Structure 1
Amino acid sequence: MASDNKAGVMNPLQALEQRLQQHGDAVAFVQPLGGGELREYTWKDVDDEARRIAAYLHAQGMEKGDHVALVSKNCAEWIITDVAIWMAGGVSVPLYPTLVAETVRQIMEHSESKFLFVGKLDDWDMMKAGVPDGVKQIALSLAPEDALNAFPKWSDIIRETAPLTEVNTPDMADLATIVYTSGTTGMPKGVMHDFQGLSIVGEKMIKVYNLEPNERMISYLPLSHVAERVAVEIAVLYVGNKIFFAESLDTFGEDIKRAQPTVFFAVPRIWSKFYQKASEAVPPKKLNTLLKIPFLNKIIKKKVLGAMGLDECRIALSGAAALSPDIITWFKKLGLEILEVYGMTENLAWSHTTEEGDQQIGWVGTPNDGVECRIGDGGEIMVRSLGNMKGYYKQPEKTAEDLTEDGWLHTGDVGEIDAKGRLRITGRVKEIFKTEKGKYVAPAPIENRIVTLPGLELACVIGQGMPQPIALLNITPEEQEKLSNGAEKEHFTKELEKLLAQVNEQLDPHERMSTLVVCKEAWTVENNMITPTLKLKRNEIEKHYADGIAQWGKTRGVVWEA
């Protein structure tokens, strides 16, 4: 399979061809089908089904360069669909599986997508009204019942369509995908990535982590987000390892134990949940005592990590936001070094990585191979690499704002670089606020210290123009249940008071919080308080609580929203 390969690397379709030659009969994907049933896909199955779907797209009139959208939770057919779109010469446009109809319409119309693959979804009814008229829809095997009844079905297409024999041979400069950012504000932007970026990141990633075909991974974070797309889909095409898919949130514990991942990527919220659950079973002080007993040390470590399904994990990664130092230290005592990584949609998540043995807590490592980094005006982090986007689709003015003519990307993050070239992120340009005393506060590091308390889900520190910052809190559903008991609420309030004092001790005087406010309503993607990648929508949260904030800023201690 030839292509304009100036970079001297394989494109993702060539990588698939290599997987076929080297591991054709090996299992690539393990897909739960419900009720304990599993389906295993070999690399031959992946290639065959992708070719049949590609042939079907051609039969439906798809032409080279057409945009094809895909909305589904993670499943084997998500990746096969993506590959099929490339085989047919198309550009894939992933949509988050939690979008409301209005956002579906915005993205579908803006991207000019002519087809939509509909897959595994929790609330298709919420989304389907947003699909523009004239878009041809196809149902994946795990699609909702009404989609399976209304659209051509995957199983029928596979059975009735001969595989495409001559697949597309993309040039490196060809557009491969448009990834719409989850966006903490406003209309999502369509980030354009070409085959060169995917190819270079695919090949370089193997070397950073010494990935081998015997690795196991679990796919559960949205594949529509660039981090999971690169860490799972692109990695598996270039390595040939095995991917296990999670069935649901309820079965995640069993899913991860089935996978026994050797490589595990999570966002801080997931690591925090692991830590909180384990701390409820074995409080940190008790764990420290047990780990000091020589003959118990190894047994305890294996047991605690085994309860999470991570006892076989050799590479543990955390990204998307800073992880609490307390959580990193706790896992390190168990023998699991969580390596923080840094990247964003606009650079294919290819920016910085913490190398094993070179961890400096609070820093996200050194630039990846081929990545340059510098600190620009106002302390803004800027990066340049072949993983950088081609630009924002149909937004040349916005592209010019974020991407310089000589290829430097404005990240919007503020940070510093140490003598070893390691990067520390201290906040977002637009998130840093100024109190009434004229002092600047970066909220994210404070929030990371707060959410280490078991029972807390999320924290949002605010304080623009206020005497001192305050923190709005969300508690976990499990903790919410306990709080119907008056004694439990009193105990939790005391724990929060202790937490407030402990965190404030570690902060500069102008950063210290006057109040912790426990909010009644859960912050979810559906009520627009967080993004599909679990980041806070600060503007929305502040707007929602505007009336209360003015009052809470005058109080001290712990307040429960009435």
Structure 2
Amino acid sequence: MQTTFPQLLQAHAKERPNDAAMREKEYGIWQTLSWKDMAELVKSIACGLHQAGLHRGEHMIVIGANRPRLYATMLAAQSLGAIPVPLYQDAVAAECVFPINNADVRFAVVEDQEQVDKMLEIQPDCPQLQHIYYDDPRGLRNYDHEGLAGLEELVAAGHAFSQAHPDFFQEEIDKAQPDDVAAMFFTSGTTGNPKGVVHTHATLIDRARAGVSFDKLSSHEEVLAYLPPAWIGQNIFSYSQWLVAGYVVNCPESGSTVGIDLNEVGPTYYFAPPRVFEGMLTSVMIRMEDASAIKRKIFHTFMDLAKRVGPARMDGKSIGFMDGIKYALGNFLVYGPLRNTLGFSRVRVAYTAGEAIGPDLFTFYRSIGINLKQLYGSTETAVFVCLQPDHEVHADTVGVPCDGVEIKLADNGEILVRSPGLLKEYYKNPKATEEVLTGDGWYHTSDAGFIDNNGHLKIIDRVKDVGRLQGGAHDGAMFAPKYVENKLKFFSHIKEAVALGDGREKVCVMINIDFAAVGNWAERRNLPYAGYTDLASKPEVYDLIKDCVEKVNADLSQDSMLAGSQISRFLVLHKELDADDGELTRTNKVRRGFISDKYGVLVDALYGGKSEQYIETQVKFEDGRTGSVSATLQIQDAKTFAPVKAAA
């Protein structure tokens, strides 16, 4: 059995050399790279990197979108025993300094001019960064910096070297062992500097095989790779599992063409964080609001049916003869066309992960016949810890432990995991490694949860975020901010939410509206607005958001454990939360502590009983310039509901 990624590549190239390995859309046309082509490309790049001085055990950063030659570069580095370190392509230049210096990086392979400019900008802070190679030469013709070259030059030099030394490449691959380090992924760094998570060939391949076996994946799957390769979720699905299962990975032309490319590819295996599914649902609802009255009536009638019987049907349960007939008609008129519009006509398995997905959002996709499931894992566990089996899918759980995984709960409710896919260590950070890995191999996830009666894992929140209300009518009640935030984000008009309440007498939230959805809503009501800040301050928009908040409160009142987490007061923020402003991580997770400090004046106003508060906030624009946004924000009370007592 092949035990390293280069060995897996060679096996595919030998067994089915002419089958498609990857496709890339360029100038509107899909270009196919066979397994044989990929193996030859990896060989040339590896030999070129060797000639340039890349050593075994050395780190090499890779920055860019999903591109076949960047994937080939990672394989080439692994063939030499070097360690690829993918970084986020949308990170600003300064964010790359710590990973590069932490990992003593001398080699960088990047996608295009934008990434080259970042590397050149930070070179004074990273003097050891000597070699920068780029894939896309557009805009770089007149660059003459020392150590800067195109990937084409590297490939040509490597090809000549391999011709002169025909045994070199295979000898290097044969030196590799499964316990050698295969890759390093930097965490999103919600607090302090990011940590380098070290994974071996064995850990990544084992978890990839577990996922492939669980969902019976084969070489016939089609995958669309459009999320950042630096996120281990994308890396597992379009790299580790790609090499284990041998399916086809399709790379879209650009971020703006993903929707079109999704429809053209028609993936059978799909993966996205909740935010992507939220965005898709928002676009559907916007389009439906613009449709004719009869189309809206048909849509809502059949969606009501789908919500009632669709999830049971997906779970293989009987829904009755008449409902079956009605659902079949709905499938012809609504669900089928909707799946086709979303690009999900051929999806056999779809997963969401990264953070919890709202139950209503999750149910929507399953109700229209999309086999959307949840999984649980992290960078440190090589993703696969729990998976939802077909016909055993629950909106409020993340599935059962997959092959090789053991789970137990600490006294404080923290989930501990033991698995063949655990990280080797945090790079150059033994203290952090000791904090998360016990001597007998258990990993501290920092997540709070429990195993339900069906053996499924249920996540409540991060251990450090689960709190208690103090004082007031709900003194001592549990407060789970992420749970509250996810319920709010199901509504298409709400893009992001930050819930506050630990150690306080009530829960308050700060909300980001979804500019596209609310803008469309406003235009249909002839409500004029001049940009995000103006729209967010409209009294009509506050009424819209208040209705969403109170619906969440009504839902929370049904849960005996979380009824105290109902939202008492809220405001709509004057700007969108942004990773460039430090408010979100690069994986779009809310940095709640940072936001609480940054918007301290708003927090004080929420809890101080004020009805409005002026604030001025510095923002960073895409071109690197800074500016400020100011506004007087309205603060409103929301209706709360008496907890519903369980029947005796």
Please indicate the TM-score interval, normalised by the length of the shorter structure: over 0.9
For 2:541, the aligned partner's letter is: F
Q: Give the whole-Å Cα distance in 1 for the aligned partners of 2:612 and 2:375.
A: 34
Give unpaired runs (5+ residues) of structure 2.
Answer: 163-167, 289-295, 307-322, 529-534, 557-561, 614-631, 635-648
The one of 449, 457, 468 aligned to 2:506: 468
- Counterpart for residue 153 of structure 2: 156
- Does the residue aligned with 1:374 lie in a helix, a strand or coil? strand
- Counterpart for residue 177 of structure 1: 183
Q: Give the whole-Å Cα distance in 2 for the aligned partners of 1:337 and 1:62.
A: 44
Say whether 1:32 aligns with 2:25. Answer: yes
- Counterpart for residue 345 of structure 2: 311
Check conservation: 1:514, 1:553, Cα contact below 8 A.
no
CA RMSD of aligned residues (A): 2.4
Say whether 1:275 aligns with 2:281. Answer: yes
The one of 516, 537, 544 aligned to 2:591: 537
1:35-50 alignment runs, 5 A limit: 35-50=27-42
Say whether 1:69 aligns with 2:103. Answer: no
1:199-238 alignment runs, 5 A limit: 199-238=205-244
Taking structure 1 as reference, are residues 323 and 558 closer, same or farther at Cα in structure 2, changes over 3 Å only? farther
The one of 173, 181, 186 aligned to 1:168: 173
In the TM superposition, what is the alpha-carbon distance from 1:129 to its structure 2 partner?
Answer: 2.4
Q: Give the whole-Å Cα distance in 2 for the aligned partners of 1:101 and 1:23.
A: 41
Higher relative contact order (CA 8 A, sep 6+): 1
In the TM superposition, what is the alpha-carbon distance from 1:512 to its structure 2 partner?
Answer: 0.9
Tell me the TM-score normalised to structure 2 length: 0.81
Say whether 1:145 aligns with 2:139. Answer: yes
Deviations along 1:237-267, whole A, 9 cap, x unmatched? 1111111112333212101112211011010
Q: Give the whole-Å Cα distance in 2 for the aligned partners of 1:290 and 1:490.
A: 34
In the TM superposition, what is the alpha-carbon distance from 1:473 to its structure 2 partner?
Answer: 1.4
Taking structure 1 as reference, are residues 122 and 63 closer, same or farther at Cα in structure 2, changes over 3 Å only? closer
Taking structure 1 as reference, are residues 557 and 512 closer, same or farther at Cα in structure 2, changes over 3 Å only? farther
For 2:583, the aligned partner's letter is: M
Taking structure 1 as reference, are residues 156 and 54 closer, same or farther at Cα in structure 2, changes over 3 Å only? same
1:243-254 alignment runs, 5 A limit: 243-254=249-260
- Counterpart for residue 433 of structure 2: 399
Check conservation: 1:98, 1:525, Cα contact below 8 A.
no
For 2:212, the aligned partner's letter is: I
- Counterpart for residue 3 of structure 1: none
Taking structure 1 as reference, are residues 189 and 295 closer, same or farther at Cα in structure 2, changes over 3 Å only? closer
1:259-274 alignment runs, 5 A limit: 259-274=265-280
Q: Give the whole-Å Cα distance in 2 for the aligned partners of 1:229 and 1:51.
A: 21
Taking structure 1 as reference, are residues 76 and 561 closer, same or farther at Cα in structure 2, changes over 3 Å only? farther
In the TM superposition, what is the alpha-carbon distance from 1:555 to its structure 2 partner?
Answer: 4.8
Q: Give the whole-Å Cα distance in 2 for the aligned partners of 1:389 and 1:294.
A: 46
In the TM superposition, what is the alpha-carbon distance from 1:326 to its structure 2 partner?
Answer: 0.6
Taking structure 1 as reference, are residues 455 and 148 closer, same or farther at Cα in structure 2, changes over 3 Å only? farther
In the TM superposition, what is the alpha-carbon distance from 1:551 to its structure 2 partner?
Answer: 0.6
The one of 592, 595, 600 aligned to 1:546: 600
- Does the residue aligned with 2:230 lie in a helix, a strand or coil? coil
1:319-468 alignment runs, 5 A limit: 319-437=353-471, 438-468=476-506
Taking structure 1 as reference, are residues 143 and 356 closer, same or farther at Cα in structure 2, changes over 3 Å only? farther
The one of 11, 14, 30 aligned to 1:18: 11
Taking structure 1 as reference, are residues 290 and 198 closer, same or farther at Cα in structure 2, changes over 3 Å only? closer
- Counterpart for residue 50 of structure 2: 58
- Does the residue aligned with 1:551 lie in a helix, a strand or coil? helix
In the TM superposition, what is the alpha-carbon distance from 1:343 to its structure 2 partner?
Answer: 0.4
Check conservation: 2:405, 2:419, Cα contact below 8 A.
yes
- Counterpart for residue 548 of structure 2: 499
Give unpaired runs (5+ residues) of structure 1.
Answer: 1-7
- Does the residue aligned with 1:168 lie in a helix, a strand or coil? helix
- Does the residue aligned with 1:102 lie in a helix, a strand or coil? helix
For 2:590, the aligned partner's letter is: L
- Does the residue aligned with 2:283 lie in a helix, a strand or coil? helix
Larger Rg over CA atoms: 2
Q: Give the whole-Å Cα distance in 2 for the aligned partners of 1:134 and 1:256.
A: 40
Tell me the TM-score normalised to structure 1 length: 0.93
